[in-house]
Amino acid sequence: MTGPQPDGESRVRPPAPVHAVPEDVDAAARRSQETLSRESRSDLSDGQWHRLHPLTPLFRGGLFLVVVIGIVLANMRDRLVAIFLPWLIPDLPDGVSSGDPVDWVIEEGLLALATVVVLAALVVIVGGFYLSWRFHTFRITDDDVEVRQGILFRSQRRAPLDRVQGVNLTRPLVARLAGLAKLEVVGAGTDANVKLEYLTTANAERVRADILRLASGRRLAERVEEARSPSRASAVSAAVSEGITGLIAGAEGPDEEPESVVHIPTGRLVASQVLGGGTLWLLLLIIAMIVGGVVGSPWVLIGIVPAVLGIGAYGVSQIVKSLRYSIAPTRDGLRVTFGLFTTVTEIIPPGRVHAVEVRQSIFWRPFGWWTIKINRLTGKSLSDTSTDQFTTVLPVGLRGDVERVLRLLLPDVPEGEWGVAFEHGVLGPRDADPFVNTPPRGWWVRPLSWRRNGYLITPDALLVRRGWIWRSLALYPFARLQSVALHQGPLDRAARLATLRPHTVAGPVYGNLAAVDREGADALFAQVAERACEASRADRSHRWAVAAPAVATPAEPRTAHADARGRADEGDGRIGGGS
């Protein structure tokens, strides 16, 4: 270590002896090794085509085999009972057939033919599984993630890394027991996701880290510890052995899980579902069932019972999905984990959050519970009903939980403004309210919430506050705002009112602020359009690890995205680009 000395000279301080602090030296060596391991390139991300885990066809098409085996066992139950429990089978009179297909095959002399057919079917199934695995390959280059699959009908999908919206790691229950996981690269478009199913959990974590590192703009380290490549047979044998070991040992998931900033008690999670909006409908349906049973109307029961079962099953599934919830900052974005049986871990990179909403129903108000949802591109098809789980970043939480999650989503809000933002934006209005609210002449449009309805423009986002029965605060980052619209009907025109509607990607956050003063709305329209254009020009969050360009002119604003990108280069682990 060098430094200025009193006499103006620079001297070199000799390092401390190694034997003096062996614990510190060992810790430093371990940290250095861990850093090298993180920065080194995975052998699956070398730009070459690789195959997935050999057990992949079993988990992708194993359900078909289970159904076939179940049908065979159901048809042969009498034969199995006769073999293992013969005293339970009564003696049949002569000339009466037992109906067992095996007896019929033996009686007709078709045993050899049946054996050949069964063996041929097994060969076809095993061969189909092998070909499916052999032709299912993937590669990760510096710019794309590509997957090729199919035997007769080939398909190839490609996900550009600079448009990656997130990387999800899913561990279904059975696959988790075998130590396998499914990796899903979320693309920017409908049905644009690229799936790698299945990999070992360790390989899936490494591949995900490589994808996020490349998507951030960093390059994978060129120095890799080279090991002698094993033969294909030994590699397959080792993979199968690892899968069997995982089945016995019960491999769970990633070894290093960042500590969650929010912990949700199970009792609160269950109570939040019981006090949810579906409970009211469930009570009404139960009352209708009772009334229908009393008056003797069976058609009422036939129509309502399935609905009651559906609502109950949905509530239970929401509880199961929200168990083991955790949220924590990482180097490449926000890490959210949820699910009891099927565990899903997703990382949302910076700049992929298009809108944030803090919401509270009237049933939760006595307990001070809130939920947080976001709008983001999920890359799933329109027919996929599981997208809601990917837009809820806080199922239920107290005020402290909400503030911690918002700090992760919006890290650039000054420390002194959080209390004011929560008091006025989430709980408001309060005295000295900074929001522009609905004027008194517009009370008839929103008779319950007109005092609360309002908007606020900050340097980086548009805040929309509304609702009384369901209170909410929505935040729309200017860099992600698609457009803003003003709507005015004949009654609004007569009262000099308008409806404000910010436009983002589809999601649970839907902005529609009615009864806004028309003159203020015109000024808001121009100001939001100007700031959105400025934020879009300055935004570089699609490559969040690349340093932001220097400020061209003094008039060009420095947005929160640029500050967040600077911190991303320093590796402070906070998400930026979404505020």
> What is the structure's pLDDT at 20?
38
> What is the structure's pLDDT at 460?
82
- Residue indicated by tokens 């390139």: 41
Distance (Å, rounded) from C-alpha 314 to C-alpha 278? 9
Residues 6+ apart with CB under 8 A from 345: 168, 169, 170, 171, 253, 254, 335, 336, 337
Distance (Å, rounded) from C-alpha 52 to C-alpha 148? 11
**Is the CB of residue 164 less than 8 Å from the CB of residue 377?**
no
> What is the structure's pLDDT at 213?
86
> What is the structure's pLDDT at 423?
84
> What is the structure's pLDDT at 299?
66
> What is the structure's pLDDT at 537?
83
Domain residue limits, the chain: 60-133, 266-322, 326-570
Q: DSSP characters for 279-342?
A: HHHHHHHHHHHHHHHHHT-HHHHHHHHHHHHHHHHHHHHHHHHHTT-EEEEETTEEEEEE-SSS
> What is the structure's pLDDT at 474?
92
Residues 97, 100, 104: CA angle, nearest 5 degrees: 70
Distance (Å, rounded) from C-alpha 455 to C-alpha 463? 5
Q: What are phi and psi of 176, to 5 degrees?
A: -65, -35
Q: DSSP characters for 4-15?
A: E-TTS-EEEPPP
Q: How far is CA 412 from the centre of its chain?
A: 23
**Is the CB of residue 539 less than 8 Å from the CB of residue 559?**
yes
Q: What residue spans of 326-454 are helical by DSSP H?
A: 399-409, 418-420
> What is the structure's pLDDT at 143?
85
- Averaged pLDDT, groups of 10, the chain, 579 residues long: 40 38 43 45 82 84 66 66 61 52 70 84 84 88 88 85 86 84 84 85 88 79 42 52 49 60 89 80 75 67 72 80 86 86 86 90 91 85 60 90 87 70 84 89 91 88 90 90 88 91 88 88 87 83 60 37 37 34
Looking at residue 28, its amino acid is A
**Is the CB of residue 545 less than 8 Å from the CB of residue 218?**
yes
> What is the structure's pLDDT at 34?
46
Looking at residue 64, its amino acid is F
Q: What residue spans of 135-257 are helical by DSSP H?
A: 173-177, 201-215, 232-249
Beta bridge partners of 194: 185
> What is the structure's pLDDT at 240?
52
> Tokens standing for 501?
């509607």
332-to-143, 372, 410, 535 alpha-carbon distances in Å: 17, 21, 15, 21
- Residue indicated by tokens 């909410």: 472
Please name which of 325, 379, 353, 388 lies closest in space to residue 167, comparing C-alpha atoms: 379
Distance (Å, rounded) from C-alpha 501 to C-alpha 50? 47
Distance (Å, rounded) from C-alpha 308 to C-alpha 67? 29
Reported as half-sphere exposure (CB side, CA atoms, 13 A), residue 203 has a value of 19
pTM of the entire predicted model? 0.72
Q: What is the CATH number of domain 326-570?
A: 2.30.29.30
